[in-house]
Structure 1
Amino acid sequence: MWLGYRRRQILDPDEIFLDSRNLPSFNTQQFEGVIEKPIGKKAITIVLAVFFILALFFLGRLLYLQVVEGEVFAKRSNQNRLRQTLVFADRGIIYDRNGVPLAWNDPKREYIPTAGFSQILGYIGFPNELELKDKDFNPKEYIGKNGVENIFNDILMGAKGVKIEEINALGKIESDYVLKIAKPGESVAISIDSRVQAELYKIIKDLADEHGFSGGAAAIMDVTTGEVLALVSYPEFDSNIMASGDGAGIRQQLNDNRNLFLNRPVSGLYAPGSTMKLYIAIGALAENLISPTKTIVSTGQLVVPNPYHPESPSIFKDNKAHGAVDMKRALAVSSNVYFYTIGGGFGGQKGLGIKKIEKYSRLFGFGQKTGIELNAEEAGVIPNPEWKELNFNGEPWRLGDTYHTAIGQYGYLVTPLQVARAVAVIASDGLLFKPTLRARPTESRVAQKINIKSEDFQVIREGMRQTVTNGTAIVLNTSQVAVAAKSGTAQVGAGKSRINAWISGFFPYDQPRYSFVVVMENGPLSTNAGGGMVMRRLLDWMVVYAPEYLK
């Protein structure tokens, strides 16, 4: 024991003489020369308590995420792994009345490459902000932007489907399956005959190039059903370019100064000229203002005395001195003096007056939209005293204004389709149709039965027939089919140096089936070509390629 005790009491000399002088020999950064002390029990207890509290916190959070929020996070996880996407349906095919495809998917939307169909068919594109707001469209789906593509969009576009895609961590599709099958759009058959449409467009284009017209419009309508057989607007845009997304091509068409996007038959407004004389004549008959056999003498002008300045009478020109003409002959030669007289009155002959002119114009569908299934249709203008006061700084209506309105001038503006519909009323003995682009419609398209005597309509039809056999539309006098027509010329532009050249009518004469209208737009005053030449070329073509329409 003594030896053990003594061993424990032996001290190192450094321990005896440890003082500040030998501290620099220690590496204090490594705690050399520091006497260690054991950690107290209290410190250990505090550390263990902190770890225990942290463990409880993490355990509680784990339980919360697993039990309380487990379903939410499981759903979120699945959504991160499974992606739901829309499947857009194929659009329906657009056919003409004979089953010829005019628009189809291959795989993108394509249109018949033949010129003449774009204004009817329209094109597709992505919805704009207004369309997204108003309807349940997806920003990435194609919709009809105008024409048949637009008006029948709900039928053509079908119903969207839904597809589920499984995505891996790298964002790649591992698998997919269809949750809801997309339903393809239904096909639509329109009333247009693609053969007639294409040929009529070509004829109008060729005539415009030959005689200096800037454009043209035409319509052919079935006077028994209201179906539109052809509806031509020249020039036009290209549907395939508009649907392709070709920015440069689209900008070129939009910037073209020829109004490619104006659908002339329904949105173009033109002074109708002498084509309006048909409705002035039938109004005068319906009002018992004149007998169809009474003659009015045309010396080449109508001279209206000026009571304030007798030396300066008002003079209203005729196209020539026609002599004594009755109603049928007046229609055939298009005597302005005759229609000045029955329109505004002169001498002992009472005229319709502007209110009755407006009444019969509206009765035949002018001044209102036809109701065809197309966008941006115009109603037109029938001038009257209120219209003049509004547009001419309060000026009053004068007799001369009535005279000019009676021959389809002044502020009178119509669309070509309105003219085709009005002629159909004459051909059908009083049926005012709502024109349609649907082939073989199941519902009646008769909008109104006009209450005018059949014999009055017959007088007008006979006058139109004389116009073809020995009048201003003799160009249509063909042995292949009997045509009834009324021509018209309206001077336009600065100095009245340009013209719109009209023809309207129906065929066959004995059993009317189709009404027609053609207007050649903005041609030189000197030309002798116009709508009549267009229709003659079309009728000659029909004899060979579409004779069923001439029977």
Structure 2
Amino acid sequence: MWRKRAIGWLFISLIGLMFLLGRLMQIQLFETETFSKHNVNLLEESVKQRTQELVIDNGRGNFLDRNGTMLTHKTMSVLVLFPFLKKMDWKVNQVADITGIPVNFLKNAVTGAKKPFAYGDPEPVELTSAQMEKINALKIPGVFAIEKKFERKEVPAEQLIGLTGENAKELQKRYPNKELSEKTLIGVSGLEESFDEFLLPEGKSKLVYHVDGGGAPLFGINVKYVDPANPYYPVNVRTTIDKSLQQKAEQLVDKYQIKKGGLVLLDIQDNSVLAMVSRPTINEKDPYNGTGITNIMLKQQIMGSVFKTVVAAASIDQNLDDPTRQFDCSKKINGKPELKYNYGMLNFSDSFARSCNRTFGELARELQKMNPNLLEEYAAKLSLTGSVGWQGDIYHTSDFKQLPDEDTGRVFVSDEARKDSNFAAMSGIGQHEVRSTPLAVANMMATIARGGKKEMVRAVSKIEYKNGTTMVDFNEKDIKGGTISPYTAMKLQKLLREVVLNPNGTGRWFKDLPFEVAGKSGTAETGKYKDGKQLHNKWFAGYFPYQNPKYALVAVNLDVLDSEGGVNLLFADMVKMLYEKDKGME
């Protein structure tokens, strides 16, 4: 009996031993870099237990402005000190003489350190190239002058660029076939998300040294430099943003206390984003939640009278713009007396300049009777209703979108509204169901300025390898579909300029600006109320200089009272700033 029990226990022990051996082989041989469902890199983790390191570059790709300046990060020359210096007699006086940092400051910093650090971090002291050379010439173990990448405290165009974060589940979902640490940063919003696959790190650049259990050097004081050593990665995503213009635009938006809204500035020549400001800002304490993460410039808004530009285009082509015809602008759309905006009898051009609702309500009804789809057709011709951000096939990705969060616009939601003359009249003045994004409105102005040529808007011009060669080019692309004729574009250009030149025009405030401006205002009722008062969306959309168009600009302030929150001063200051920049006066 006892022999059977012994054999049984021996059998169980052998099975247990085989299981442990199998587990050990799994850990030591087969899954050393992707252990468990979390894909833990056991080699990395074991090294971490016996090393201390300073990450110089996390390996994720960088965003550059159009001139090559880093947007989300900055590279600084800094002094790096290792904790083991506290156990050594090192040339602290010489380091102090070179850097100008007091000796006691350096000693105290090292005494309190548990891991390698850049002196002064989070606001490190920046060294000159001469100081770097002198520091490194001393060859002090644990003392280095290096170029290190730091995150910027304030990122220009933060909603457009977007956020990154750690999310192991999402990482595995996006890249099931890639061996990545669950600590790998991934894009959560904006361009960080849409370009995420290109930005993934090959590995970190870091300074490493081995320590014992007490943090003392294990193999002497040799510090290793670890780098993926790939000449192509990380890549650089070159945006079309001009960092200087972007920062000045943000300052102006905040100066005029835009709480919800912002602006879009396009380069008309290559139809790219020069600046894009969205408010509210991202909440630093809780960045992934709240409204701040949303790029308002890519979200559809009620646009009000800016939509009259579409009605004007359709009216021109349908011969409804007879200059001798008079419209009764002493009446509202519904025929009741207009008490607040009683302009009397106006012709087509003056109606546009003064933004007479009665005129464009009537014209929209007439267009609807001709063809219920005309308003939508012309909105599409002016790129208001489709997506306008760059999209196409690149590399190994089909239908890649630079701005996947971009809303598409609309004129009508239902066929019932499309065939109703009263709804058509309300749509003619940009109310009812009419919606578009500030980006699309800016693109409409650029389209008109170019004589009707309709192009996709680029926020990124190319992806570059680390060595500077091009990986992907985002060439200029036309938006498919019908366009307005050069003749129609020319007549719209004159109408938009008349908004500014007309003594009673809604853009008369811009008449004396250094650039000749053409554009259209809009004040839309939102259906929202504050303290019993209606809230409005206030717009001005235009382009300049009129004779040789270079910039398209939209400024918008959302959900404000009729008596406050105008955008004229913001628009005017942007025009002045751009003029000074172009003339080299800044």
TM-score (norm 1): 0.70
Residue 217 in structure 1 maps to residue 262 in structure 2: yes
Task: Give the percent of matched residue pairs that are identical in Structure 1 and Structure 2.
Answer: 21
- The number of equivalent residue pairs is 451
Deviation of 1:134 (Å): 2.9
Q: How does 1:31-50 map to 2 (within 5 A)?
A: none
Deviation of 1:491 (Å): 1.7
**Separation (CA, whole Å) in 1 of partners of 2:481 and 2:584:** 28
Contact 1:276 1:408 in 2 (8 A): yes
Counterpart in the other structure of 2:39? none
Q: Select 2:305's aligned residue among 274, 279, 301.
A: 274
**Separation (CA, whole Å) in 2 of partners of 1:322 and 1:513:** 34
Counterpart in the other structure of 2:197? 154
**Separation (CA, whole Å) in 2 of partners of 1:205 and 1:350:** 42
State the secondary structure of the residue aligned to 2:540: strand
Deviation of 1:169 (Å): 13
Deviation of 1:328 (Å): 2.4
Counterpart in the other structure of 1:205? 254
- Structure 2: gaps spanning 5 or more residues: 15-20, 33-41, 48-56, 76-117, 119-147, 391-401, 463-472
Contact 1:340 1:407 in 2 (8 A): yes
Q: Select 1:383's aligned residue among 405, 412, 428.
A: 412
**Separation (CA, whole Å) in 2 of partners of 1:316 and 1:548:** 51
Counterpart in the other structure of 1:285? 316
Q: Could you tell me which amino acid in structure 2 is paired with residue 92 of structure 1?
A: G
Contact 2:456 2:476 in 1 (8 A): no
**Separation (CA, whole Å) in 2 of partners of 1:223 and 1:279:** 19
Deviation of 1:473 (Å): 0.8
Structure 2 CA distance for partners of 1:226 and 1:285, relative to 1, 3 Å: same
* Structure holding more helix per residue: 1
Residue 231 in structure 1 maps to residue 253 in structure 2: no
**Separation (CA, whole Å) in 1 of partners of 2:434 and 2:339:** 19
**Separation (CA, whole Å) in 2 of partners of 1:477 and 1:115:** 35
Structure 2 CA distance for partners of 1:74 and 1:545, relative to 1, 3 Å: closer
Q: How does 1:91-102 map to 2 (within 5 A)?
A: 91-102=60-71
Alpha-carbon deviations, 1:446-493, whole Å to 9, x = none? 224744332221111011111112211122223411111101101221
Deviation of 1:89 (Å): 5.5
**Separation (CA, whole Å) in 1 of partners of 2:73 and 2:204:** 20
Counterpart in the other structure of 1:465? 497
Residue 359 in structure 1 maps to residue 377 in structure 2: yes
Deviation of 1:104 (Å): 2.4
RMSD: 4.4
Counterpart in the other structure of 1:118? 158
Contact 1:123 1:144 in 2 (8 A): yes
Structure 2 CA distance for partners of 1:319 and 1:502, relative to 1, 3 Å: farther
State the secondary structure of the residue aligned to 1:503: strand
Q: Could you tell me which amino acid in structure 1 is paired with residue 292 of structure 2?
A: L
**Separation (CA, whole Å) in 1 of partners of 2:457 and 2:73:** 25
Contact 1:380 1:414 in 2 (8 A): yes
**Separation (CA, whole Å) in 1 of partners of 2:152 and 2:337:** 50
Counterpart in the other structure of 1:476? 510
State the secondary structure of the residue aligned to 1:155: helix
Q: Could you tell me which amino acid in structure 1 is paired with residue 475 of structure 2?
A: E
Contact 2:333 2:357 in 1 (8 A): no
Contact 1:192 1:439 in 2 (8 A): no
Deviation of 1:162 (Å): 12
**Separation (CA, whole Å) in 1 of partners of 2:445 and 2:507:** 15
Deviation of 1:276 (Å): 0.5
Contact 2:59 2:203 in 1 (8 A): no
**Separation (CA, whole Å) in 1 of partners of 2:304 and 2:310:** 12
**Separation (CA, whole Å) in 2 of partners of 1:362 and 1:156:** 34
Counterpart in the other structure of 1:187? 236
Deviation of 1:116 (Å): 4.9
Structure 2 CA distance for partners of 1:290 and 1:539, relative to 1, 3 Å: closer
State the secondary structure of the residue aligned to 1:85: helix
Contact 2:186 2:200 in 1 (8 A): yes
**Separation (CA, whole Å) in 2 of partners of 1:490 and 1:456:** 26
Residue 491 in structure 1 maps to residue 528 in structure 2: no
Q: Select 2:326's aligned residue among 296, 315, 320.
A: 296
Of 375-384 and 272-281, deviating more is 375-384
**Separation (CA, whole Å) in 1 of partners of 2:289 and 2:543:** 36
**Separation (CA, whole Å) in 2 of partners of 1:386 and 1:490:** 23
Q: Select 1:532's aligned residue among 549, 554, 568.
A: 568
State the secondary structure of the residue aligned to 1:91: coil
Counterpart in the other structure of 2:453? 431
Contact 1:233 1:265 in 2 (8 A): yes
Q: How does 1:364-443 map to 2 (within 5 A)?
A: 364-372=382-390, 373-386=402-415, 388=417, 398-439=420-461, 443=475
Deviation of 1:368 (Å): 2.4
Contact 2:59 2:204 in 1 (8 A): no
Alpha-carbon deviations, 1:301-323, whole Å to 9, x = none? 1576xxxxxxxxx5385862333
Q: Could you tell me which amino acid in structure 1 is paired with residue 43 of structure 2?
A: Q
TM-score (norm 2): 0.66
Q: Select 1:325's aligned residue among 346, 360, 363.
A: 346
**Separation (CA, whole Å) in 1 of partners of 2:339 and 2:200:** 55
Of 433-442 and 406-415, deviating more is 433-442
Q: Could you tell me which amino acid in structure 1 is paired with residue 276 of structure 2?
A: L
State the secondary structure of the residue aligned to 1:149: helix
Contact 1:280 1:339 in 2 (8 A): yes
Q: Could you tell me which amino acid in structure 2 is paired with residue 381 of structure 1?
A: R
Deviation of 1:507 (Å): 0.8
Which stretches of structure 1, 4 residues or more, deviate above 6 A after TM superposition? 71-78, 105-109, 167-170, 172-180
Q: Select 1:339's aligned residue among 360, 379, 389.
A: 360
